[in-house]
Chains A and B, each alone.
Chain A
Amino acid sequence: MPFGSIWGDSMDRSEIKVCVLRIEGTNNEDEMYYAFKRLGASPELVHLKDLKDIFDYNCLMIPGGFSAGDYVRAGAIFASRIRAKIANDLHRFIDEGWPVGGICNGFQVLVELGVLPGFKRMDYPDACLFLNNSARFECRPTLLKHENKGKCVFTRNIPKGEIMLVPSAHGEGKLLLPREKEQEYFDRLFENDQVVFRYVDKEGEYAGYPWNPNGSAHNIAGICNEAGNVFGMMPHPERAYFDKNKNGISGMNVFESVLKYIEEK
């Protein structure tokens, strides 16, 4: 554990170690790395093969890309390799409140791992990020409304109701929940404050395609677990630092939020 926390002080930024986990085909790791680096933290690119102890880090990030080619299903291969290697440690890491984030392919991995939506501990997926309604990969800007009331540690710095412009780029981003439990699960997501981002139009309304690029139910773009420390979203805040567009703030606030959380943890 980092030195600072023993004394109850906040932790120094540069001591915060972020594990950006990768395997072949995870190709968004550089921009994820820089997202943390620019904010003064100490990210590291770690190949799953070389990961020794996840508790060497204060935060685990799974970047976007096409891990192992996404050949079976997006994120499936990466998830099963993580499970085979560190399933128990990962659950302990999460239980202790350390943040775990997944962007795009990383979100798909967290869902395939069963840690999102994470209603109970399980070793198989309890949701799915399914093929977009358009049945194709689409890269386009999207507008996201921040809906979380304060539970999600990755968005605490973002005011509720804020609308931000964030690029999306995925082929499988439609959140599906088990059909038998669909209503129950969606209710729980909303009641538990697990919904983090939803796709909207310029007026802030929950609009259809192309505002919602994949057909996700309730326009959901990102969710967190019940404790708020596991978080996944389809669009790419790590790519959104060029355009401080009139429509919103920079995506860097996602990373700023989680670093603040770790500093204060």
Chain B
Amino acid sequence: MSGKQNVYEINLDLPDEKLLELSRKIGIGLSLDEMKSVRNYFREQGRNPTDIEIQAIGQAWSEHCCYKSSKSLLKKFIFNIEAPQNIFVIKEDAGVVEFDKDYAYVLALESHNHPSAVEPYGGAATGIGGILRDVVCMGAQPVALIDPIFFGPLDLPYDQLPKGVKHPEFIFRGVVAGIRDYGNRVGIPTVSGSVYFHPGYTGNCLVNVGCVGIIKKDDIIHSRVKELGDIFVMVGGRTGRDGIHGVNFASAELDEESETSSRSAVQVGDPITKEPLIHACLEANTKKLLNGMKDLGGGGLSCVVGEMAHAGGFGAKVNLEKVLLKEKGMKPWEIWVSESQERMMLAVSKANLQTVLDIFDKWDVDAAVIGETISERRVLVYYEGEKIFDMDSEFLTGGPVYARDVKVVKKDQKDVKTQAPKDINDILIKMLSDPNIASKDWVILQYDHTVRGSTSLTPLYGDVVNFSPQDSAIVKPVEELNKGLVISTAVNPFLLEYDPYWGAASAIDEIYRNIVAVGGRPHSLADCLNFGNPEKPERFGDFYQAVMGLNFATKDLKISFSSGNVSLYNESMIGSCPPTPTIVGIGIIDDVEKKVSSNFKKEGNSIYLIGKTEREFGGSLYYRIIGVEGGIAPKMDPQNLINYSNALLSSMEKGIVTSCHDLSEGGLAVAVVEMAFGSDYGAIIDLPLFKDMRADEFIFSESNTRWVVEVKDEKAFESLLNKNNVPYMKIGKVSGRKLEIKQNGSKIIDAPIEKLREKWKNAIWEHMG
């Protein structure tokens, strides 16, 4: 192999420190041990690698592509949870779960954190583009997008901004615009998400993106070649220098220079190329013309060819000069690892090739034949007739696996006695004005959440222009079925920071009750595990505890993680992000007409609280606002979660529950007032005396497994809950236009809904305009 085609031999016969330097210089970020095993491999081959070969290894072995730090834990505690409804989970870009006898839904969740920190608009937009491809490459029609996003505080003074870091407000604005412009243009509704502000995200925002698709079971297609001679057809956008080394960039901490040095990793999304690409891929697939399909994401061609061939039990031969390029003069290795957007790889048998090419031509989408499968399990790359790459696909896709050191820092959690606050009204107002609680309409209304005409419950819903935040969205994906997909997301970084184990378990509790709150039966989960540098034992200790918490909470629920993603190294010079295992949950509702929304419906209806309230204030909004540290983190009991949920669901099926909202941050008080926001009404809440709790503690506690419900038939409701041994308490009624909370006759909260609504509505607008 010579340098004739702009391909160079890389000499690995180097002393150790030079070997490591080489890894850094060519931008692949492999460790010394990894470089050594590369050296050994090529010694056995009796030659040095070419630049394109070593770049390919750099891609395939990055944390992002091969999960080298997290794989062993995930296998043991996340992937092994089983559920009968799963059809095909974990193994490919998206999980496939049964929807009804003919249809399945497809779920994928990913992070796009590092690119968004550097170029928020393009980074977030291409995140949406990537997650759509993950769903399309299973053959599914995307029906909903989900966007949990996390930033530093909006009011961070500019002089406290570390060098090279963009202000949270700038990033927030750009990320939302990127999601909006991409999602709206491709016409897939963004129906669910979350927005968090926490100092730990200042240097490294998190942008997680999820997508749900629907597919006829017969049409499911896999990310692998099927038979010898399958032809690789590359379709969609052209290949350019944008997005080179994206995965390596995603597998390192951000530093001061990231802003300028990582420009080549910035990708630009083109939704108007994507939209017809989706149509064309789905058309070719439903006509049964494809043997396999996979998207080009992290690692580009380099990863996709090797993985598709390897998974099918074959090898591949590629003619690299056939790849359609955006720009002249690209080096072969650049073509091989470029992460340009909007590209897909198809495996097509010779007999179907022309028909497939015709479909892409009809949609004005570029398609190029670039190679074929071979029987030997190797990847061979030719460039204008010359062989420039020849590697064993087992070695290439194998990648290292690590057992990282775990250090668990135990907090001694004790119950704290606090002073009774003087003005509880004021505390509630502070809560509602906290950007983490405040209305997210600045974000949500910029996204089209009704496109496709199948959104039956929108994320904000209520009385035309006044909205209550809903716990889940509902989408009806199949024209001839009334069945709906219930979509929600949950994670509370403040709780996870305080207690990664119970924080993670609480996220599962919250996702479950969010789905149940609208009338859905929880059905499957996806997780995106965003953590700091795994090479630091304490950071990896957080990861370990969170994974154990997820395992504890989920293993008996009969729902499982059908897809997920790990994003490590979310650290900058000012520290790590809080542990953030974002959870997306999917539920099923048999008839979308039976949905339950959170806004109050009718004056005079009774209000009940379901579940048990404990002195659990560790990581709570209440303690943050009154400046108290410590407390006990909320626990959860999976069996209670199931029992309470089942009882609540049957009362909903009987039509006696007219609205429902789960209790999360800010507890009962915030939940009740949010139910009033989307209605014309207020509420009068009258509490009894409690043995071990003051009224303010009761209304702000963040104990898990609780809901507020509005009920129109008290007797039927109570007898159903009694029968199922579910703890509940009648706490008041829908009434007037104020929120009044009393205990034993004396008022502790008394405020017009209109005033509370103003505070809640304006908090984010005051920054973003």
Contacts and interface: CB of A to CB of B under 8 A. Distances in A.
Interface string B445-483: 111111111111000000111000000000010010000
B464 A66 contact: no
Contacts of B275: 24-25, 27
B226 interface: no
A93 interface: no
Contacts of B447: 139
Contact of A239 (B364, B453, B463): B453
Given A25-B272, A140-B445, A211-B465, A66 B453 contact: no
B453 A27 contact: no
A143 B276 CA distance: 33
A45 B455 CA distance: 22
Given A24-B272, A239-B453, A137 B446 contact: yes
A202 B464 contact: yes
B271 interface: yes
B180 interface: yes
B430 interface: no
Interface in A178-229: 201-202, 210-211
B446 A28 contact: no
20 contacts: A27-B451, A31-B451, A31-B452, A49-B364, A64-B451, A65-B187, A65-B451, A69-B272, A137-B448, A138-B446, A139-B445, A140-B445, A140-B465, A141-B464, A165-B464, A169-B184, A201-B464, A202-B464, A239-B451, A247-B464
Top 3 nearest A-B pairs by Cβ distance?
A: A27-B187, A31-B453, A69-B272
B271 A69 contact: yes
A28 B187 CA distance: 7
A165 B465 CA distance: 11
A136 interface: yes
Q: Which of B184, B455, B456 has the most CB of A within 10 A?
A: B184
B145 interface: no
Interface of B: 180, 184-187, 271-272, 275-276, 362-364, 445-456, 463-465, 476, 479, 592
A238 interface: yes
Q: Which of B272, B362, B364 has the most CB of A within 10 A?
A: B272
A215 B184 CA distance: 21
B464 A34 contact: no
B163 to A, nearest CB: 32
Q: Which of B364, B449, B451, B592 has the most CB of A within 10 A?
A: B451
Q: Which of B272, B451, B453, B455 has the most CB of A within 10 A?
A: B453
A140 B465 CA distance: 8
A30 interface: yes
B87 to A, nearest CB: 25
Interface residues of A, number: 39
Given A68-B272, A139-B450, A242-B592, 4 more contacts: A27-B451, A31-B453, A66-B272, A138-B445
Given A25-B185, A165-B464, A139 B453 contact: no
Contact of B446 (A31, A70, A139): A139
B486 to A, nearest CB: 15
Contact of A34 (B184, B362, B479): B479
Given A66-B184, A69-B271, A247-B464, A242 B452 contact: no
A167 interface: yes
Interface string A77-95: 0000000000000000000
Contact of B180 (A24, A137, A239): A137
B499 to A, nearest CB: 37
A21 to B, nearest CB: 15
A141 B479 CA distance: 22
A227 B362 CA distance: 36
A139 B449 contact: yes
Contacts of A142: 464
A55 interface: no
Interface in A1-44: 24-25, 27-28, 30-31, 34-35
Nearest to A170: B448
A165 B462 CA distance: 12
B302 to A, nearest CB: 29
A241 B448 contact: no
A201 B446 CA distance: 21
A236 interface: yes
A24 B446 contact: no
Contacts of B185: 25, 27, 66, 69-70
A33 B44 CA distance: 61
Nearest to B465: A210
Contacts of A236: 450, 453
Q: Which of A141, A201, A210 has the most CB of B within 10 A?
A: A141
Interface string A139-158: 11111000000000000000
B353 to A, nearest CB: 22
Contacts of B445: 138-140
A186 B180 CA distance: 34
B601 to A, nearest CB: 10
B465 A27 contact: no
A249 B464 CA distance: 14
B272 A139 contact: no
Contacts of A47: 362
Contact of A24 (B364, B449, B463, B464): B364
B465 A137 contact: no
A65 B448 CA distance: 10
Contacts of B362: 47, 49-50
A169 B187 CA distance: 11
A223 B454 CA distance: 26
A24 B276 contact: yes
Contacts of B271: 25, 66, 69
Contacts of A165: 464
A140 B454 CA distance: 15
A42 to B, nearest CB: 16
B276 A139 contact: no
Contacts of B272: 24-25, 66, 68-69, 71
A72 B215 CA distance: 35
Nearest to B278: A27
Contacts of A25: 185, 187, 271-272, 275
Contacts of A202: 463-464
Contacts of B186: 27
B305 to A, nearest CB: 28
A87 to B, nearest CB: 22
B451 A169 contact: yes
A239 B458 CA distance: 12
Given A25-B272, A27-B186, A69-B272, A143 B464 contact: yes
A241 B446 contact: no
A170 B275 CA distance: 18
A138 B454 CA distance: 18
Contacts of B464: 141-143, 165, 201-202, 211, 247
A241 B476 CA distance: 12
B456 A169 contact: no
Nearest to A38: B479
Contacts of B180: 137
Contacts of A138: 445-446
A50 B363 CA distance: 11
Nearest to A50: B362
A66 B465 contact: no
B459 to A, nearest CB: 10
A65 to B, nearest CB: 6
A184 B272 CA distance: 39
B235 to A, nearest CB: 15
Nearest to B141: A30
A141 B458 CA distance: 10
Interface in A213-265: 236, 238-239, 241-242, 247
A238 B453 contact: yes
